[in-house]
Amino acid sequence: MRLLPVVVTVLLTVSVAYYVYIPLPDSIQEQWKLMMLDAGFRTTMHLVRNILGSEPDGGVAPGVKVSDITFAGVPVRLYEPPAGGEGHLRRGLMFFHGGGWALGSGKKGSYDKINRMVSDELNAVVVSVEYQMYPEVHFPVPYLDCLTAAKHFLSAEVLSRYAIDPDRVAVSGDSAGGNLAAAVSQEIAMDDTLSVKFSIQALIYPVLQALDFNTPSYLQNEHIPILYRPLMIRFWLQYLGVDLSLVPHFTTNNHSSLQHTHITPELRARLDWTGSQGAVKEVPGLLDVRSSPLLAGPEVLAKCPRAYVLTCEHDVLRDDGMMYARRLQDAGVTVTNHHYEDGFHGCFSFITWPLDFDVGRRATRDYIDCSYDSNLSDICHIQGMI
């Protein structure tokens, strides 16, 4: 009987280890920490909501003034730097948080912390947009919320009110937020009624297309936490208002066609799309550049602002970001692509103990430094943009 507790302990230990352990590429650092994080994700979505929606850290950049207001009816959180705008103009940044168009809040967690840091270190007025999300709404509502807030932000009245330099206004976002940032950036760039445009788009492992879920990065990283291939496909179907029973149909790529006229020759040469046109006709959002900015034509991309694109090797969205960076470059846009060989999707958000990763801290530091430090001009082409 004395052995029973020992046997039970051993069995429990082995069971937990079996549940937690997943094979990871050698280039990923702090592997057991990532395994534990992933186990939490698989156990309960409550952990996800805690990470993306934990209470803000008021101890970070305490001099930054934070206000919850609305821009043209859209809820936003406004961050004003302690330096003020007296006698000089400040930078401006609009930020869209990630979370698969279904989770998270820019007011909380790492998003709030990073926006406070950006406001304080860059002397920037940061506006984090609380766009509507699934399940209450589907595409294009989140995009339209972001576009409405962006146009309001870029108005002469608002720029003057917050002493923002109209030549140094940026738009940024991570993951689904990167999708929204790219789409809004394109629309703003093409709108001749607007006198002020964004000077830079900073895209953090953005999701940019839903026509091909068999790109090399989707296949190579389909089992790499924290964004598994089936989960990203599910996020897309939720966003586009598609019946979730069609997940297997989309997983096998039977939803797109090389023959569709909206697919540009440049993009057709980079993607191996197969299947029928049936799903495309039933889900027109698949080919809408407002949902899939990667599909925009070269005439649109050529007008887009300079870009900072952060990609991670171990991320299903790696190729989305790299293809977009290449297409922007081909269109004549200046692009800086920071690629992290040891990076995984979501690492940008994990910068606070105990869920902090070295690659996350490096990515955050590079994101901030490469937005303003003129000494990095040889490395970061976006210096001085905001």
Give yes or no for residue 287 having a pLDDT over 80: yes
Q: Given CA atoms 128, 134, 135, 139 in this order, what sign does their dihedral have?
A: positive
Segment 103-118 mean pLDDT: 94
Please give the biggest Cα pair distance in the chain. 82
Does the active-site annotation cover 257? no
Quote the pLDDT of residue 345: 96
51-60, 136-145, 217-226: which range is least confident on average? Answer: 51-60
Give yes or no for residue 147 having a pLDDT over 70: yes
Does the active-site annotation cover 27? no
Give yes or no for residue 144 having a pLDDT over 60: yes
Taking each helix axis from N to C end, the angle separating 109-122 and 45-53, rounded to the nearest 10 degrees, works out to 20
The active-site residue, picked from 112, 315, 319, 342, is 315
Quote the pLDDT of residue 157: 97
52-61, 176-185, 354-363: which range is least confident on average? Answer: 52-61
The active-site residue, picked from 292, 345, 349, 381, is 345
Segment 317-337 mean pLDDT: 97
Strand pairing report for 164-174 and 90-96: parallel
Higher-pLDDT residue of 143, 264: 143
Give yes or no for residue 151 having a pLDDT over 50: yes
Return the percentage of the chain with pLDDT > 70, whole number.
74
Closest-CA residue to 159 (of 75, 71, 73) = 71
Domains of the chain, each with CATH number or no CATH: 29-47+55-82+89-373 (3.40.50.1820)
Give yes or no for residue 15 having a pLDDT over 50: no
Does the active-site annotation cover 175? yes
Tell me the average pLDDT of the chain. 83
Quote the pLDDT of residue 56: 54
